[in-house]
Structure 1
Amino acid sequence: DNWNGGITIGGSKISNLRFADDTTLIAASQEELVALLNVLEQHSAAYGLGINYNKTKVMIVDREHDNHREIKSIGRCEVVQSFVYLGSLIDNSGSCENEIRRRIQQA
């Protein structure tokens, strides 16, 4: 609740997106992400909930360093180049081009 992590979008600080049992954590660094995962784990445990690390993925978006493709995991989480969140493809390019192609193919 005193968390200062996350990123600023349109003047608002964003550290997570939540819908039902799907959560997306947003961090500016690997260290911040590990700290955010620890906070999530602690708060979840307080309510008898846990994190399924087999289903938990990390995506790095860093255009200056080719998205750190050499990093295979952070903590107990696999690093991926893309994932589907609430039915939409999110990839580390920051572009929606692949999502548009995917939806056209599904039509």
Structure 2
Amino acid sequence: MRMIAAALVLALYCTALAHADHDRARVLRQAGVTVPLEQILEAVRARYPGHPLETELEERADGYVYGIEWLGNDGTVRTLHFDAQSGRPLAADRGAD
């Protein structure tokens, strides 16, 4: 019973963190600090047909970075990073061109 209760508390905590991250990203976008994530996803789709597996807005010392884990239609998984303020690509893993 304790395991179930601990798992439930952990799930609720993770859900709360996800909502807080989403709210923070929305506030930054509305303030003009970051470009819309959808704008970046459209550019990625044009180059690598597929869909995102996971997206994350990371705060770094020099600004914000979007991290995107992308599953291409060819089955390739790429990890891509973009400057969240300019939308400029920063780096990609070895699976990317």
| TM-score > 0.5 by shorter chain | no
Please classify the TM superposition score into its range, dividing by the shorter chain length: under 0.3
With CA pairs under 8 Å and 6+ residues apart, which has the higher RCO, 1 or 2? 2
Q: Which has the larger share of strand?
A: 2
Q: TM-score with structure 2 length normalisation?
A: 0.24
Q: TM-score with structure 1 length normalisation?
A: 0.23
Q: Which has the larger share of helix?
A: 2
